[in-house]
Amino acid sequence: MAQAEIARPGGVSPGANEIRESRIGSAGPIDQIFQGLVTGIGGVVIVILGGLVLLLVLDSWPSIQRYGFGFVSRSVWDPVKQDFGAWPYIYGTLFSSFLGLLIATPIAVGAALFLVEYAPAWLRNPISYVVELLAAIPSIIYGLWGFFVLAPVMRNPVESTMKSLLGPIPGLSVLVQGPPIGRDIFVAGVILAIMILPTIMSIAREVIGTVPNTQREGMIGLGATKWETITWAVLPYARSGVIAAAMLGLARAIGETMAVTMVIGNSSLNVNFSLFTPGYTMASAIANQFREADTEIYFSSLVNVALVLLIVSGIINGLARLIVWKFAGRANTRG
């Protein structure tokens, strides 16, 4: 009887979505008020983002008018002559961030695999808690630790050993050009790797933990070893989630300010592939020079750097979503 009551005149029963929509449509005024409230709250996010972009564009407009799109490709930053270009800052941001991602991702994914696949139950929560606690440490604490503890260790023996090993090798010698000083892009990359590791590990652990046991049991039933099961069943299934975790870590690395400012050197506008080159990131440049911007074009150029930083972050997050969708689509197709 109940089924006959909801049947259409043509004898076709409505779908679940249509039934739900009909029920929502007949909701009372409280439901309508709540719907309007949450819709308005969602719109506030878009308004805030639009207002932020508008403010950056207005304050950076003199710089945009003077330099145009060439601002992102020019390597000059001379406040005395009022000549500015952001390319060294963009390069330093991308170089240090991707270096941190390259260091952190294998460690984070390995830790996640250990917690899900190998660690006993009594050990998983304590280790997860300790690693995730790293995410709660303020950035300035990382910076102080990096300046007083990590930098001396990186200068000698790490960087000096890298220079002696890689220096004589053609092609790899470009990575170790210059003296090992312990305040350079390499140290900044290591600091960023430590900072983003908890984010990547936490998300990767949750994603790997959601892999159905039937995936593992099927491989084991075919005679696969534990390593083969992880390689051919677990990681392919969780690939899109792991990539998303890495991209979230990269997003944090790109916008990091204080810790990077204290260890990257902030003294060179050279653009090269050497890990030992002191550099600048866009965030550290803004933090160091904002109070020194005593002219309109100087201030406008710094705000223009902030606008470029926002655009770069948006582009990377957009590319990350495309990558995740691509791999997720492949997984669904294969499934």
Q: Looking at domain 72-334, what is its CATH homologous superfamily?
A: MetI-like (1.10.3720.10)
Residue 78 bridge partners (DSSP): 83
**Domain assignments of the chain as residue spans, ordered by start:** 72-334
**Whether 131 contacts 205, CB under 8 Å:** no
Q: Which two tokens stand for residue 317?
A: 């997050």
For residues 147 and 161, what is the distance between their CA atoms, to the nearest angstrom?
20
Residue 265 bridge partners (DSSP): 279
**The pLDDT of residue 71:** 94
H-helix or E-strand containing 124?
Answer: helix 121-133
**The pLDDT of residue 320:** 79
Residue count of the chain, please give it. Answer: 335
For residues 324 and 330, what is the distance between their CA atoms, to the nearest angstrom?
10
**The pLDDT of residue 295:** 92
**Whether 260 contacts 144, CB under 8 Å:** no
What is the torsion angle, in degrees rounded to the nearest 10, for the CA atoms of residue 19, residue 20, residue 21 and residue 25?
100
Interval 161-193: pLDDT, tens: 999 999 999 989 999 998 999 999 999 999 999
Largest separation between any pair of C-alpha atoms in the chain: 85
Specify the DSSP class assigned to residue 13.
P
* List of residues 6+ apart from 186 with CB closer than 8 A: 99, 154, 159, 275, 276
**The pLDDT of residue 105:** 95
Supply angle C-alpha 192, 198, 204, rounded to 5: 120
Backbone conformation region of residue 41, classed left if phi is above 0, alpha if psi is from -120 to 50, else beta = alpha
**The pLDDT of residue 333:** 54
Pick from 102, 16, 89, 131: nearest CA to 268: 89
Interval 189-237: pLDDT, tens: 999 999 999 999 999 999 999 999 888 888 888 888 889 999 999 998 8
Supply angle C-alpha 252, 253, 259, rounded to 5: 110
For residues 106 and 52, what is the distance between their CA atoms, to the nearest angstrom?
35
For residues 194 and 188, what is the distance between their CA atoms, to the nearest angstrom?
10
**The pLDDT of residue 44:** 94
Spans of the chain below 70 pLDDT:
1-27, 327-335
Backbone conformation region of residue 169, classed left if phi is above 0, alpha if psi is from -120 to 50, else beta = beta
**The pLDDT of residue 2:** 43
Pick from 278, 277, 304: nearest CA to 290: 304
Placement of tokens 């009551």 in the chain: 5
**The pLDDT of residue 11:** 47
